[in-house]
Amino acid sequence: MNWIDTHTHTYDPAPGQGSAAECVERALAAGVCKQIQGGVDLASIKPIWELCERYPGVVYPTIGLHPTEVKEDYAQVLEKIYAELASKNPSSPQQGRGRYVAVGEIGMDLYWDKTFVREQEEALRLQLGWAKEFRIPVVLHVRNAFEECWHILKQAQDGSLRGVFHCYSGSLEQARRVLELGFHFGIGGVLTFKNAKLPEIVKSVPLDSLVLETDSPYLAPVPYRGKPNESAYVPLVGEKLAGCLGLSLQQVAEATTANAKALFGL
């Protein structure tokens, strides 16, 4: 039974987790055959590629500027990130090893600070344009900013934009709007939390719109909640999803793995 972790930060493990390579090995032993590393800034590029080069065909990179990293110098930072993206993703797309599989983790986050709202909006618009230019999906981080983000996505959606709302935390009504955009839902450890609304939401969306993730080392599923998360825990999320949908674990593994491969071109 094979699984894919569509969003992890294995390249930056939490204290006590050991090395990034040890985290990858534990994931492989748990049946997690592939994992996608979420890029967040310029500093994350090097460790992500080191891990990808050590585990070709297992670990894949994304690149983008996380909304909480958008500051006064965001335009200059984005220029450097774009140059890196263009160097790895030639105009004639070639799937597989050696290229970025998505633009991300990008989006809007107004939970902690609203100082750079305008800059976050502009950064998002620019990076959505990159995704369309290089014909790869986007990985969206949306926190306390669904309406703002949705309006930008709706304006940008010309039929070619695709991607995933990573760690989906919106309402059922918002989920319907995500589906209208043609986007996927990233489902992680929150699904297993007591009193979480996510179990009811996943029952109302098509299985072919769901992919699994951990966002490790954050948001570990039950029974590891409060401890560092890792890709090896993806099957726990899959088990909970199978229970929510009344499906077998095999069905969920096969469907979410196929969804991830199709979305990211793995």
pLDDT at 90 (0 to 100): 74
- Compute the distance between CA of residue 67 and CA of residue 133 in angstroms, rounded to an integer: 21
pLDDT tens string 172-230: 999 999 999 999 999 999 999 999 999 999 999 999 999 999 999 999 999 999 999 99
Record the tokens describing residue 147, joined without a space. Answer: 């309406």
pLDDT at 48 (0 to 100): 98
Identify whether the C-beta of residue 215 lies closer than 8 Å to the C-beta of residue 167.
Answer: yes
pLDDT at 95 > cutoff 70: no
pLDDT at 91 (0 to 100): 62
Record the tokens describing residue 152, joined without a space. Answer: 């930008």
Tally the C-alpha atoms within 13 A of residue 159's C-alpha that lie toward its C-beta: 0
Q: Is 33 helix (H, G, I), strand (E, B) or coil?
A: strand
Neighbours of 132 (CB within 10 A): 17
* Mean pLDDT, rounded, for 13-33: 97
Q: Which domains does the chain have, with CATH numbers?
A: 3-264 (3.20.20.140)
Beta bridge pairs of residue 139? 164
Amino acid of residue 231: S
Record the tokens describing residue 233, joined without a space. Answer: 């825990």
pLDDT at 98 > cutoff 90: no
CA-based torsion, 81, 82, 87, 93: positive or negative:
positive
